Structures are given as structure tokens and as C-alpha cells.
Amino acid sequence: MSMGADLELRARVVEVLQDVVDPEIPVLSIGDLGVLRDVTVRDGTVEVAITPTYSGCPAMDMITLEIEIALARSGIGNARVRTVLSPAWTTDWMTEEGRRKLKEYGVAPPVVGAGRRALFGKDEVDCPRCGSGDTGLIAEFGSTSCKALWRCHSCREPFDYFKCH
Amino acid sequence: MAGGPGLRRFFEDENMATNTITVSETPLVLYALRRADDSLILGHRLSEWCGHAPTLEEDMALANIGLDLIGQARSLYGYAAEVEPREDGRSANDEDGYAYFRDAGQYRNLLLCEQPNRDFACTMVRQFFYSAFTDPYWRAMTSSSDPTLAAVAAKSEKESAYHLRHAAEWLIRLGDGTEESHARTQRAVDALWSFTGELFDADDAEDSLVADRLVVHPSAFRDIWSDTVDVGFARAGLRRPDGAWMQRGGRGGRHSEHLGPLLAEMQHLQRSHPGARW
Ligand SMILES: [Zn+2]
């Protein structure tokens, strides 16, 4: 297969992958999340590289399967998904678009560049519903390992916070 | 024995002896297995709380921390499988092989990690002692000269930071709480203290990796661990035990009586039905 055909196929793969979402946060595509690292096509063989968000993220097997299904449905059968560990994913890889979608979905996006905080320090997280900064942590570990449970003292609603990693 | 007749039958099963794997423990394989075993065994212990934790939030927290640890173990077992030398004709060991088809004497985890949950205070103190070590340890390991170990460390250090904070907050809440919670927490500290010395040990195999800048010597974290523990104890109103005598053996496969029953439960299905998937 020619190089031109490979490039064309790659463009199709990238387009198909835009519809593959994180099963735990279905408004985010794997591109928005920063989990999709690379797409290579050589002689008609597709390789998709993804990176896990958290060591124990149970969504990774599901994401792998969804990628394979999405490609197969589009008639792209000669594909494999590879998991790469290095460099390690961080929440800073989430796109602007991803952060916006997350907030609309009702999940407070990770604070950019916040990194690790002191042992007894406090994060400052704005409420995704009303924007108030008057919020407090309910539980460090929420519905999934990437989220903490917070509450807003202004609008009184509980909300998920996508933790910095 | 706590496991009763079922456990005895399990140990008598002839298949069990035949499907145990052998591992070529080069220094690098040994290193990866030691750290993976720490994570897997502690992660399994935390999973025993599932459905039993004092509150729903804690049930989720312990399950999620356990999941992080088992995830770290998977990455490290995967790495061990990549670097383990293979003889001709012998199939390579894989993640599941290391987890399900090694006997207690082949496990290399810290004795601290296999200690039973007992009560919530004991579980939190165990987690605090362990995470106070792994948090700075994995951070330093991000500069390992081995890209895979550095990448595993980059994930683990962020996760460990959350685990440490969670455990430290509980340590304070329990130590500085009611008379009973204080008494139980101090009892847990006293009971687990002698298992903390092993955190800082390394042997010749690990020293050779330190020399190649692949790993950092665990003894380098003694002071920072000690500081974290003292800060936590001061806030929690807990007393640091005087005893200097430390229990050792996990790194060399000499375990307490608690590991066998844990493995019996964890490995039972794969030992009875090798390769079962669902
Ligand atoms: Zn609000």
C-alpha cells in the first residue's frame, strides 16, 4: 500500500476515534481526555496507542474494546490497540474542549498545574453548577478513583471533582 | 486453621503443586516482584473491606485505593514478565502467573502489607505507615534510568499522595477522637510498629540496581518517613512506640502466618481452574 493510502487511512481512523468516549464520563472522547496518544498506519496496518489515566483504571479494557469495535464498524479491521505507560498521563493533558464539556456535564475539571498539594493542604475547586468558590470536600474518593465528592455551600448541590493527577 | 476443611482440601490438591511456576529471579525481576507483591497483597487486603466499611464513602475509598494498588501491581508484574530471562522452550511467565501461581514462599512482599485488617483503625494505621513510605519513594523513582519503572513511578506517586492524605486524616480523626477510637488506634500503632523496619531494607540484589541508577535505595527515605509519622502522631495525640526490634523476612519469602490463608482465597479459582476467564 502506498504512503498516500496510509495517510488517508490514518485520517479516517482519527475521525472514527473522535466518537470513542470514556465509559465513565461519556461526554469526553478519548482525545479530549488525553488518553489517545498516537495513531500510526504502516502498509495498511493501524496501531492505536493509548495510555491509562490511573494505574487501576478499569475503563482501559473497555476503551480498548470500544476502539476495536468502532474501527471494525467502519470497515477498518487491520488494527491493534497498544497501551503505553511512558510518558505517564496527567490531568494537564485534558484539552480545553474536554474541560469545558466536563464542567457542562456537572463535573468540576481538574485545577490546571495544581500538582500535588501538601499533606494537610486544601484544593480550591469552583462549583460546576453555580461557579461559587465556597465549596468543601465530602469524600476524597468518589464514584470512581479519578473523582472526589464535593459539595457547594452556595447552591447546596453535591458534585464530582475530577482530581488532579 | 481459620480456613477450615475447605482450606485443607485446597492445600492437599495435587494440582496445586504441579501448577506452581518457577521464576528466574534476576535482581531486576526480584525488584519488580517485591514492589508488585507489596501492592497486590495490600490491595487485596483493602478489597476485603468491600461491603463491610463503616460508611459508604469509606467503602468506596478503600475499594478505590485497593484498585490503584492492584493496578500498580499489574504494571510491575507486566514489567517483570518483560525482563525475566527465558530459557528455550519454556513459556514466559505473565501477570496472572506471578499473582496466582506462586506459593507463599515465593512472595516477596513486606510483612506489613499482609497483616490482617483487624479493625478500621488497624487498616488505616497500616495504610498510613505504607503510604508515608511509598509517597516519597515513588516520587524519587520517577527519575529512574529505566523508562518503564519511571513511568510506573509517575503514576504511583500521584496515587500514593492521595492514599497518604486519606490515611493521615483518618489517623488524626481516630487518634484525636473518642476514648475508644484513640485506644484502638494506639493499639494498632503498637501492634504494627515492628513491621515498619523492613520498609527501608535492601539486599545485594537491590544494591546492584542502585549502583546502576535503576532504583533508589529505600533507606534514603527513613528520615522523611519518620518526619511524616511524627507529624501525624503529634496531631493525632498518639505515642511513638519505644521498641527498636523489627520483624523481617517478607523480602526473602519468609512470611507471617497470615499470608497463606490470603493466597488460598485469592488464588483458589485460578489454581482449581487454570486460565479461567469471565
Ligand atoms: Zn454551586
Residue A80's CATH number: 3.30.300.130
- Residue count (chain A): 165
The residue ranges of chain A whose pLDDT is under 50 are none
Say if residue A21 is in the same domain as residue A75: yes
Say if residue A84 is in the same domain as residue A107: no
The pLDDT score that the predictor gives to residue B275 is 82
Say if residue A124 is in the same domain as residue A47: no
Kindly give the confidence (pLDDT) of every residue in chain B, 278 residues in length, as a single tens digit, with 9 standing for 90 and above.
344 445 544 554 444 446 899 999 999 999 999 999 999 999 999 999 999 999 999 999 999 999 999 999 999 999 999 999 987 656 679 999 999 999 999 999 999 999 999 999 999 999 999 999 999 999 999 999 999 999 999 999 999 999 999 999 999 999 999 999 999 999 999 999 999 999 999 999 999 999 999 999 999 999 999 999 999 999 999 999 998 899 999 999 999 999 999 999 999 999 999 888 87
Domain that holds residue A13: 3-89
Which residues have C-beta under 5 Å from ligand 1, the single-atom ion?
A 127, 129-130, 132, 152, 154-155
**pLDDT tens string B240-249:** 999 889 999 9
Residues of B with CB below 8 A from A139's CB?
57, 60-61
Say if residue A85 is in the same domain as residue A107: no
Say if residue A114 is in the same domain as residue A79: no
Point out the domain boundary residue: A89, A116, A133: A89
Alpha helices in chain A (DSSP H): 3-17, 30-33, 59-73, 96-104
Say if residue A110 is in the same domain as residue A70: no
| Residues forming a β-bridge with A29 | A21
Point out the domain boundary residue: A61, A89, A117: A89
Point out the domain boundary residue: A89, A106, A137: A89
The pLDDT score that the predictor gives to residue B3 is 44
Residues of B with CB below 8 A from A145's CB?
64, 67-68
| Amino acid letter, A51 | T
The pLDDT score that the predictor gives to residue A58 is 76
Say if residue A119 is in the same domain as residue A57: no
Is the CATH code 1.20.1260.10 the one for domain B4-272? yes
The answer to whether A55 contacts B154, with C-beta atoms less than 8 Å apart, is no
Number of structural domains chain A divides into? 2
| Amino acid letter, B68 | D
Q: Closest residue of B to A60, CA-based?
A: B71
Sketch the domain layout of chain B as residue ranges: 4-272
The pLDDT score that the predictor gives to residue B36 is 98
Say if residue A40 is in the same domain as residue A105: no
Gap between the Cα atoms of A67 and B125, Å rounded: 42
Pairing relationship of beta strands A36-42 and A45-50 according to DSSP bridges? antiparallel
The answer to whether B148 contacts A85, with C-beta atoms less than 8 Å apart, is yes
Q: Which of A57, A84, A85 to mutate to test the interface with B (most CBs of B within 10 A)?
A: A85
Say if residue A52 is in the same domain as residue A81: yes
